[in-house]
Amino acid sequence: MITRRSLLALPATLYAAEPKVVTPAYNTLSDAEEIALGRKFAATLEKDLPILSVSALDNYVNGILTELARKSRRPNIPYIAKVANTVDVNAISLPGGFVFVYRGLLEMVKTESELAAVLSHEVGHIVGRHSANNLMLDFRARQVYEIVKRNLELRNTVIEEIIEKLGGPLVILTRLRYSRELEFESDLLGHYNMLRANWDPAGIVRFFKRLSLSRKDPGDWVDSALATHPDPAERAQRIQAEIDGSRLPSGLTTNTMSFGAMKLGLKLLPAPVRPKAK
């Protein structure tokens, strides 16, 4: 855990580069409304994904997510992660703190700081309200914004039906890709968040470098959602420059026994589902 002393030891400029999040005028959702939207969206997504409900794994992933969320610039909403049993190397975040981690990612990361890096990036998307902004813009363009807003906190299935009508949650997520700028913003938010939560941000660089290598191997695969992200080598470079320009506190976490236990636990799970042929 980061102590008050180590926080004070950080140079003032370290946090100056942390992006300041501005919510656009077209997103008028309150936190409660955003959480309600995320809950309904997550419910439709869970029908498409083989969700693993293994308490040891859920507790481990949620422990990291919660610690990062607590130290984020948006600590006042609940964050919850579920694990999907597919080989995809991916993680996605929905409005209101809902995160889905794919098993392929858990298999690929080599240290806890790499996993924390990906989760911290997703927390960055939630802090930046990126998916909520995207969805609101899309709903406005499709003239369903008013009906969505009216039904957010009602106990009915109006929003789930709209999501299905628009092609289902995965289609919507693929269509509403984040811009390169938003991805870099999440990387930076994730980087500073990791520092506050005491994980070594070098984990971000290592993960991106490995992702970059795996892309060059035609026998390997990278999930389509990650493939739409900016070049991982470029992302690694940007974060490395951020690290080089900072004086990092000592004692940052790279790995833990719990991470090792999580990796062993993966071997006991039922075989993951392969992605459908594209």
Q: Are 26 and 133 in contact, with CB atoms under 8 Å apart? A: yes
Q: Which residues pair with residue 92 across a beta bridge?
A: 100
Q: By CB under 5 A, which span of 38-46, 53-61, 98-106, 177-185 interacts with Zn ion?
A: 177-185
Q: How far is the CB of 116 from Zn ion (least distance, A)?
A: 15
Tell me how far apart the alpha carbons of residues 256 and 238 are, in angstroms, rounded to a whole number: 26
Closest CA to 227 of 164, 273, 278, 192: 278
Applying CB under 5 A, what is the total number of residues that bind Zn ion?
A: 1
**Residues in contact with Zn ion, shown as a per-residue x/- string from 178 to 217 under the rule CB under 5 A:** -----x----------------------------------
Q: By CB under 5 A, which span of 111-119, 176-184, 189-197, 256-264 interacts with Zn ion?
A: 176-184
Kindly compute the dihedral angle of the four CA atoms of residues 39, 40, 42, 44, in this order, to the nearest 10 degrees.
Answer: 160
DSSP state letter for 250: S
Q: How far is the CB of 188 from Zn ion (least distance, A)?
A: 12
Q: How far is the CB of 225 from Zn ion (least distance, A)?
A: 8
Residues whose CB falls within 8 Å of the CB of residue 267, separated by 6 or more in sequence, listed in order: none
Q: Which is nearer to Zn ion, 180 or 263 (CB)?
A: 180
Q: Which is nearer to Zn ion, 131 or 151 (CB)?
A: 131
**Residues in contact with Zn ion, shown as a per-residue x/- string from 230 to 269 under the rule CB under 5 A:** ----------------------------------------
Q: How far is the CB of 130 from Zn ion (least distance, A)?
A: 8
Q: Which is nearer to Zn ion, 123 or 152 (CB)?
A: 123
At 239, list the tokens.
């974060």
Amino acid in the structure at residue 108:
M
Closest CA to 182 of 239, 227, 122, 236: 122
Q: Find the DSSP H helices in 128-231.
A: 130-141, 145-151, 158-165, 169-175, 180-196, 202-216, 224-227
Q: Which is nearer to Zn ion, 118 or 197 (CB)?
A: 118
Q: How far is the CB of 186 from Zn ion (least distance, A)?
A: 5
Q: Which is nearer to Zn ion, 29 or 226 (CB)?
A: 226
Q: Which is nearer to Zn ion, 152 or 206 (CB)?
A: 206
Residue 36's SS3 state is helix
- Site residues (vs Zn ion, CB under 5 A): 183
